[in-house]
Amino acid sequence: MDLQALKNKYDIIGNDPALNDALETAVKFAPTGLSVLIQGESGVGKESVARIIHQYSTRRQGSFFAVNCGALPRELVNSELFGHVKGSFTGASDTRKGYFEEADGGTLFLDEIAELPLESQALLLRVLQSGEYRKVGSNKVEHTDVRIVAATNVHLYEAVRRGKFREDLYFRLSAAQIRIPALRDRKSDIYLLFRKFTSDFSEVNGMCKISLRPDAIRLLEGYRWPGNIRQLQGFTQSLTAQVSVKVTPTLQRIELSAQDLAPFMPREEGEPLPALYDGPQPSPAFNSDERQAIFKAIFDLKQEVDSLKARLDRRELPAHVAPAQEEAEWQGQEEEPEQQHFVHVETPSHEESLSVRRNEEDLIRQALEKYHGNRKKAAEELGMSERTLYRKLPAEYRKK
């Protein structure tokens, strides 16, 4: 199989290994006649994979119908899928064929299959097992020969666990699965898709194509694209419409930097705001013994940090070591190196320092009470010298 020719035929852009694996798997499943479950987020291109399965199957001469189960009116789902007879419900003025009858001998792509009501799932299972169904309002058993390719953007087995999806139908569909990666998991394909979308949009509208500088590409790839390819396409077309101009003999392309691109990048909305909670208070996360162990661990860690800091304070840097930034400047290093690694050390706030100090004092009090005021034994218990213990004594013990 020529994978690139397949991509060109179905207008699929990208070279990510996970994407290639999904396409190769689709071609392998195609001639088998198996029902196939395609999993992936909205906007990743599940319908394109379903069409590939149909075109590489023995049913390629038959019809291909794509049905969005989430868009079907709940009260009309069975009628849409299986058809109805005249007078079966209000408004049924004529007998009507359903998708299973229309697609006989072909392929039926059921997108968002998790949105089907449980009753419809039971009827679907029967069709998968025996090819039999009844139109709404009819007692006559009909037969169909349809291959099902289903798709979902939810974790289907989790829906089974919550009672939203039939387990027997899940196992019937999940024998042959294909998973399509999200766009954020194939970062190397993001700019390829961007170039494709801006090129197509520009040619149709007689505008200059948009290209991005390396820093702008990093900005584009750094966004998570929750709407996947569909969102990136809409963003690219909108960006091109706003920043591009009509093509001239001397101007064919416009290049953007990260600074140019940043104002147009999408912003995710709907982040939750903090709110007061008036309900019952949650139980403590830790019991007293666990809390004691945590405080002891924090205390021991602070002792080690203090000791290490004291040793470091006594050391001096070699005289020949110069700041890294100055060295980069005279060497002519680019202003924006491809990779930079920084270690960020946060200084504890005043409140955090007081909290640690109070926990230390609590541990010292408990040790002194345990050994009836014997400072030597208390210091041994806490893993410190008696002199350090004396320095850290709570105020009420200093006079004793």
Q: What is the CA radius of gyration of the chain?
A: 33
Domain boundaries of the chain, sorted by first residue:
3-181, 184-264, 354-400
| 322 alpha carbon, distance to own chain's centre | 43
What span, in angstroms and rounded, lies between the C-alpha atoms of 106 and 332?
64
Comparing 128 with 338, the larger pLDDT belongs to: 128
Mean pLDDT of 178-204: 95
Q: Give, for 335, the enclosing helix (H) or strand (E).
A: none
Look up residue 394 and give its amino acid: P
CA distances from 193 to 183, 185, 211, 234 (A): 10, 14, 12, 11
pTM here is 0.65
Two tokens, residue 78: 């069975």
Q: Out of 40-44, 112-116, 325-329, which region has the weakest mean confidence (pLDDT)?
A: 325-329
User: What are the residues whose beta carbons fall under 8 Å from the beta carbon of 25, sequence distance 6 or more?
Assistant: 178
Mean pLDDT of 63-83: 92
Two tokens, residue 400: 């004793």
The CATH code of the domain at 184-264 is 1.10.8.60
Architecture category of domain 3-181 in CATH: 3-Layer(aba) Sandwich (3.40)
- Beta-ladder partners of 212: 256
Q: Out of 164-168, 223-227, 346-350, 387-391, which region has the weakest mean confidence (pLDDT)?
A: 346-350
How many residues are given for the chain?
400
Q: Tell me the per-residue pLDDT of 350-367, one tens digit each, with 9 for 90 and over.
A: 554 555 567 777 788 887
CA distances from 4 to 11, 15, 20, 194, 389 (A): 10, 9, 10, 19, 72
Confidence of residue 216 (pLDDT cuts 50, 70, 90): very high
Parallel, antiparallel or unpaired: strands 209-212 and 253-256 = parallel
Q: Tell me the per-residue pLDDT of 85-123, one tens digit each, with 9 for 90 and over.
A: 887 777 777 888 999 999 999 999 999 999 999 999 999
What span, in angstroms and rounded, lies between the C-alpha atoms of 48 and 6?
11
User: What are the residues whose beta carbons fall under 8 Å from the beta carbon of 14, sequence distance 6 or more?
Assistant: 7, 186, 188, 189, 192, 193
| 16 alpha carbon, distance to own chain's centre | 17
Two tokens, residue 170: 């899940």
User: Are both 3-181 and 184-264 of the same fold?
Assistant: no
What percentage of the chain has pLDDT greater than the value 70?
A: 76
What span, in angstroms and rounded, lies between the C-alpha atoms of 217 and 210?
12
Q: In which residue are the tokens 């991509």 written?
A: 7
- Beta-ladder partners of 251: 248
Two tokens, residue 55: 């075109």
